[in-house]
Structure 1
Amino acid sequence: MVTGNAAAAATGTAPRRRRAAVTVASALLLVATVPLVFRAAGSDGVTPVPQLLAFLPWLLVPAGLGLVLSLAARWRPGLFWAAAVLLGLTAFVRPYGGDGPAPHGPPLARLRVLTANLEFGRATDGLLAALRRERPDLVAVQECDPERCAAALASPAVRAAYPFRILAGHGASEGSAVLSRFPLRPDGAVPGELAMPRAAVTVSGRRLRFQVAHPMPPLPGSLHAWRTELGRLRDLAASRGAEPLVMAGDFNSSQDHAAFRSVLHTGLRDSAAATGSPRTPTWPARTAPVLGAQIDHILVGDALRPRTARFLDLPGSDHRGLVADLELYAAR
């Protein structure tokens, strides 16, 4: 009698385990499938799709677990489902935004550009160290608070190294700054809840437009602002004509967001992607470069060629900095 009961229990346990495996596999595959469908459709959708799209390469993990569980449960539909999702994700993991027509002839000048989000000014000391170490020519600063960041940038040492500057916005998150070794003048701004100033910089006799990018993040309550502000950056890029343009900053979006790809579709090149680092995470700094998303970018127009791109740790910030070496040409 005991042996019979044990056999019956074992017989009942196997189907329950299989059902549990199928249920978990379905949930994992659904998590990966929904953002993949929107990515394939060229849409960012609604929450939680934009947030998941930022980490699209990491969706290979739940998809892979879904494949393993489907195999263990001998669930044939799940095997086909998982295989399709894995193939789709793999196709979209490839680099995006590094292609574009390369300029020809000798360069007019070589530029080093740095972008840094200071997280409410907490990484001001890290920025100052990066300025001394990297000696960039143009700097885009986001989340430059008035007490720490703005005050530090007004110091005699920084003013001597960067005599030309723009400070914009108020508050810890809204403030932005442009620093330059070259003469500049204010050239307007892209409207947004966070300051996005623009400078007209004269380099080797040629005018270059330098735009700070800092659209709202794609949080559930700010998706409309995020899309709208990225659209304004796209419109600026589309209207640039033959004038060189550098757009640098915290875009709060990755290559897997349709709103960001629309900026690239105007012909701008992503410096990191163009120099072999299309997926190196910049946020969150606590887990980068192992885990995260590349949401900080330096985009350049036709008359500029990226040569190198490197990522910097900024103690105190939840972002990593990005520095790119560029060549400026007389024409495309």
Structure 2
Amino acid sequence: MAAVKQQQEPGGGRRGAGRTVATWGCAALLAGTSAVTAFRVADADGPTPVPQLLAFLPWLLVPAGLGLLCALPARRPALAVWGAGLTALLAWYTAAPGAVRAAEGVPAAEGAPSAELRVLTANLQFGQAADALVDLVRREEPDLVFVQECDPACVRELAGALAATHPHHHAVEARGPAGSVILSRRPLTPAAGVPAEMGQPGAFVEADGHRVRLQLAHPSPPTPGRLAAWRTELDGLRRWARAQGARGPAAREGGAAAEDTPVILAGDFNASRDHAAFRRLLDDGDLADAAALAGAARATSWPVTGGPAPGVQIDHVLVSAGFAARDARFLEMEGSDHRALLVTLALRR
């Protein structure tokens, strides 16, 4: 009877084996993708390699979609439902305006603008893009420039080349990627920066009668073996931001917030909005992501490879309540693996 059945169904064994392979392949794709997505749902970053994969969360749609597609010929309804649900969840996290707005934690500013600032942040990759940044600043004419990975020689080069337009600067001078500087058209008053392995200078600037607090951000990257430093330094920025705003010590002791100093926190955060540590910085610090407010929440800032490699937005300009943002643009700089971010901010009463 078995021989007769094989004659009646030629290739039946091969088809069955093919469906088994498809089933296991589909399950492996969906299980791996679900494991990473579960940390996003749980509002946690997890151990290596989860934080590294969470940075590229929109690209997880690829294995989730493949898992869904291979579930169909495998004739496994449960796997198909699993793949469809996972794909829908990832698509929601990637594109839903509600998810983006919920992560900001700051309502849109209202009222007539009383000051306007054009802010540029740029990672120069060990100073290699210094010349490109000079050209970019001369062309775009920002009011404030937050520069990361700029050693003392790079700081001197920028200060000399931009002396006519941006004569004021405050730097943390250090070798390699640890050096950083804030350049300004307007006078700067140095302020205590947030401690980190890489330089994070702070300052105050006057903008049309408003005193604005500036802080450069450049926490350690979440590479294997460096996750503890990454979490600690992002948490340091969160605690600093919380201390500046309505949730800070003055507000808690007085029972009501006095008029807060507006805050601009900008730089290479080595974190995207899909990292729980970054979302806590936004929420607990009462900050908004200017690129998201301007409609560019998913624009890529790193890595710039010239090819189809996946990208992520880890360079940000964060602002306190009272700021509105528009014209967020990510601009390439020759010599850097980051795009610079230029955004126009309006401070409203």
Q: Shorter-chain TM-score: which interval?
A: over 0.9
Retained in 2: the 8 A contact 1:254–1:293?
Answer: yes
Equivalent position of 1:75 in the other structure? 76
How far residue 238 of structure 1 moved from its aligned partner, in angstroms, is 0.9
CA shift digits 1:22-72 (9 cap, x unpaired): 121122112211121110110001111111111111111100100111111
Structure 1: 5+ residue runs without aligned partners? none
Q: Which amino acid aligns with 1:53?
A: L
Q: CA separation in 1, counterparts of 2:122 and 2:308?
A: 16
Q: CA separation in 1, counterparts of 2:75 and 2:121?
A: 50
Q: CA separation in 2, counterparts of 1:182 and 1:7?
A: 86
Q: Quick check: 1:10 aligned with 2:11?
A: yes
Q: Which amino acid aligns with 2:345?
A: L
Equivalent position of 1:302 in the other structure? 321
Report the 3-state secondary structure (helix = DSSP H, G, I; strand = E; otherwise coil) of the residue aligned with 1:189.
coil
Q: Which amino acid aligns with 2:142?
A: P
Q: Which amino acid aligns with 2:163?
A: R
Equivalent position of 1:52 in the other structure? 53
Q: CA separation in 2, counterparts of 1:232 and 1:139?
A: 22
Q: CA separation in 2, counterparts of 1:66 and 1:82?
A: 6
Equivalent position of 1:165 in the other structure? 169
User: Which deviates more, 53-62 or 81-90?
Assistant: 81-90
Equivalent position of 1:316 in the other structure? 335
Q: Please give the residue correspondences for 1:251-270 in structure 2 after superposition, counting only pairs within 5 Å.
A: 251-265=269-283, 266-270=285-289
Q: CA separation in 2, counterparts of 1:60 and 1:159?
A: 47
Report the 3-state secondary structure (helix = DSSP H, G, I; strand = E; otherwise coil) of the residue aligned with 1:73.
coil
Structure 2: 5+ residue runs without aligned partners? 246-259
When normalised by structure 1's length, the TM-score is 0.93
Report the 3-state secondary structure (helix = DSSP H, G, I; strand = E; otherwise coil) of the residue aligned with 2:178.
coil
Report the 3-state secondary structure (helix = DSSP H, G, I; strand = E; otherwise coil) of the residue aligned with 1:306.
strand
User: Which deviates more, 59-68 or 298-307?
Assistant: 298-307
Report the 3-state secondary structure (helix = DSSP H, G, I; strand = E; otherwise coil) of the residue aligned with 1:160.
coil
Query: Which of these residues, 282, 299, 309, is aligned with residue 280 of structure 1?
Result: 299
Q: Quick check: 1:138 aligned with 2:156?
A: no
Q: Percent identity of the aligned residues?
A: 48
Number of aligned residues: 327
Retained in 1: the 8 A contact 2:159–2:167?
Answer: no
When normalised by structure 2's length, the TM-score is 0.88
Q: CA separation in 2, counterparts of 1:122 and 1:16?
A: 54
How far residue 86 of structure 1 moved from its aligned partner, in angstroms, is 1.0
How far residue 207 of structure 1 moved from its aligned partner, in angstroms, is 1.2
Q: CA separation in 2, counterparts of 1:143 and 1:52?
A: 24
Q: CA RMSD in A?
A: 2.1
Q: Structure 1 residues 75 and 5, CA, compared in 2 at 3 Å: closer, same or farther?
A: closer
Equivalent position of 2:119 in the other structure? 113
Q: Structure 1 residues 288 and 260, CA, compared in 2 at 3 Å: closer, same or farther?
A: farther
